[in-house]
Amino acid sequence: MNEKELQSLMKDYVDLASRLNNLGSAEAKTFDIFRGLDTSGRGQIVSMPTDQNSLVFFGRPMCNLSYNNIQTDRVLVALTNEDNTSFARAIRAYLDPRSNRGLRKADMISRILKGNLGGADDATIYDAVDSSLVDPLNCFIPLLSNTLTSFSGFPELVGDVYSSPEGMFRESMTFLDGTPRIYQNQSLTANFQNINSNPVGMLFFYWLYYSLAIHEGTLVRPWPDHVIERRLDYPTRITKLVLDSRRQQVTGIATTIAMVTSSNIGDFFNHQRESVTKTENRDISIQFQTHVGFHYQDVILISEFNDQVAMYNRNMRPVELTNPETKLVGQFLTGDAQYFRVPPDLLPYLNYRVYPRINLATNVLEWYAPKSAVPPRIKITLTNNGEVV
């Protein structure tokens, strides 16, 4: 008996012992639970859920923090700091992607209509509010995703029940009366771990201050196209991804659009004599208010997530094609040969330098990066499809 046959024999004995103890097959416990009924009444020993909390993405709003718009406000004028390494400059760049890219209004409006915020050439650049702390090609606010400690308030899907009036014999009929979609709005609570100099707290303070100043309508104005189209420019699109234990497969996706309704500016100025350093703003609790309901497990959320990424970074735009082998339409190819899909073993070297995309065919969360982001000592070779050889 060779080694392979011995291993097969041992596996059969283990499986038999498991069945004799009314535990089902040792190798197919999940299969047994789905397939048939347990006659032992003892229950089944199966693995516990290993899905990870994974990632929360906060989309950048489209606030108008251009110089001419905020120079007349004594609070927002602090964001005109010219030091591109300052937190004030970074906050302005986060909240105002248009000024961060430095696109003329006419060019930006044209690009929005075409679904493209990226790829500005030298002819369209004007006084960009650049910041070394903010990537203009990133449609999200990494500062919030990286410092988030907890996020709660997502509602459950609940079915409303209708019962008919009782008849002569007190009989009544009951059925579900409602919608499978969650349109009601409610508040969400997000807790963040602050860092030195209170950038997280100041980000929410200026974000909320601008939002209220827009409502007041005295000095601060939205971008002209937002006024024409009557669109709010300060909400954020929040996307929550749940991944498997390998952090590769997307097992759940939820999206809502919300606005900031609180800040911790008061805690920042509280005083305690017993402590030399301030402790009140180490952990920040922020309230969000949704205004379009909640969307769970909708396939279109994946497409919208990918479109959101590609809107800011044209190298992440998909190219529609048909794969003759798999017959799948919409296989992804990067628009630039210098962008490539980062394999899992290379991902630690490119952490904080990648852009996400969810594969529509497999629900795998893929990460892409420019070849220039690869450390010099790591040599890679790319195929025409942007794959690492």
pTM of the predicted model as reported, rounded to 2 decimal places: 0.82
Tell me the β-bridge partners of 192.
148, 284
Angle between helices 199-216 and 87-95 (to 10 degrees): 50
Asked if the model's pLDDT at residue 249 lies above 70, the reply is yes
- Give the residue among 204, 257, 65, 57 at the shortest CA–CA distance from 140: 57
Kindly state the tokens that stand for 98.
């248009």
Tokens at 242, concatenated: 């749940």
Residue 250 pLDDT > 70: yes
Instruction: Compare 15 and 139 and report the one with higher pLDDT.
Output: 139
According to DSSP, residue 346 is labeled T
Please report which confidence band the pLDDT of residue 28 belongs to, taking 50, 70 and 90 as the band edges. Answer: low
Cα separation of 95 and 249, whole Å?
31
Give how far Cα 222 sits from Cα of 62, 254, 376, 387, Å.
Answer: 9, 28, 44, 42
Residue whose token pair is 């002209």: 224
Measured CA to CA in angstroms, residue 287 lies from 188, 238, 242, 260 at distances of: 6, 13, 22, 6
Question: CA 218 to CA 216: how far, in whole Å?
Answer: 6
**Would you state the pLDDT for residue 96?**
95
Confidence of residue 79 (pLDDT cuts 50, 70, 90): very high
- For 99, the 3-state DSSP assignment is helix
CA 88 – CA 373 distance, rounded (Å): 26
Q: Which residues contact 100 (CB under 8 A, 6 or more apart)?
A: 92, 93, 94, 128, 129, 130, 131, 134, 136
pLDDT in tens, 205-242: 999 999 999 999 888 899 988 999 899 999 999 999 99
DSSP 164: P
- Compute the average pLDDT of residues 253-260: 96
What amino acid is encoded at 159 in this protein? Answer: G
Classify each residue of 29-48 as buried b or exposed e, where b means 16 or more C-beta atoms within 10 Å of its C-beta.
eeebeeeeeeeeeeeeeeee
Element (H, E) at 251: strand 250-260
Task: Report the C-alpha gap between 148 and 219 in whole angstroms.
Answer: 33
CA distance 158 to 294: 13
Q: Say what the pLDDT of residue 381 is.
A: 75
Tell me how far apart the alpha carbons of residues 348 and 371 are, in angstroms, rounded to a whole number: 15
The predicted pLDDT at position 386 comes to 62
**What is the SS3 assignment for 61?**
coil
Q: Given CA atoms 125, 129, 133, 135 in this order, what sign does their dihedral have?
A: negative
Q: Where are the domains of the chain?
A: 3-47, 53-154+181-303, 318-373
Q: Match 């969400």 to its residue by tokens.
A: 188
Q: 48 pLDDT band (50/70/90 cuts)?
A: confident
Q: Where are the alpha helices (DSSP H) in the chain?
A: 3-20, 29-35, 67-70, 87-95, 97-101, 105-113, 142-147, 199-216, 224-229, 265-268, 299-312
Least trusted range by pLDDT, from 11-20, 306-315, 345-354, 367-376: 11-20
Nearest Cα neighbor of 57 from 154, 123, 146 is 146
Dist. CA 209–CA 229, nearest whole Å: 22
Tally of helices (H runs) and strands (E runs) in the chain: 11, 11
Do 93 and 136 contact (CB within 8 A), yes or no?
A: yes
Is the distance from CB of 105 to CB of 127 less than 8 angstroms?
A: no
Cα 59 → chain centroid: 7
Place of tokens 């910041």: 131
The residue whose two tokens read 């922020």 is 286
Q: Residue 255: helix, strand or coil by DSSP?
A: strand
Q: What local confidence, expressed as pLDDT, does residue 327 receive? A: 39
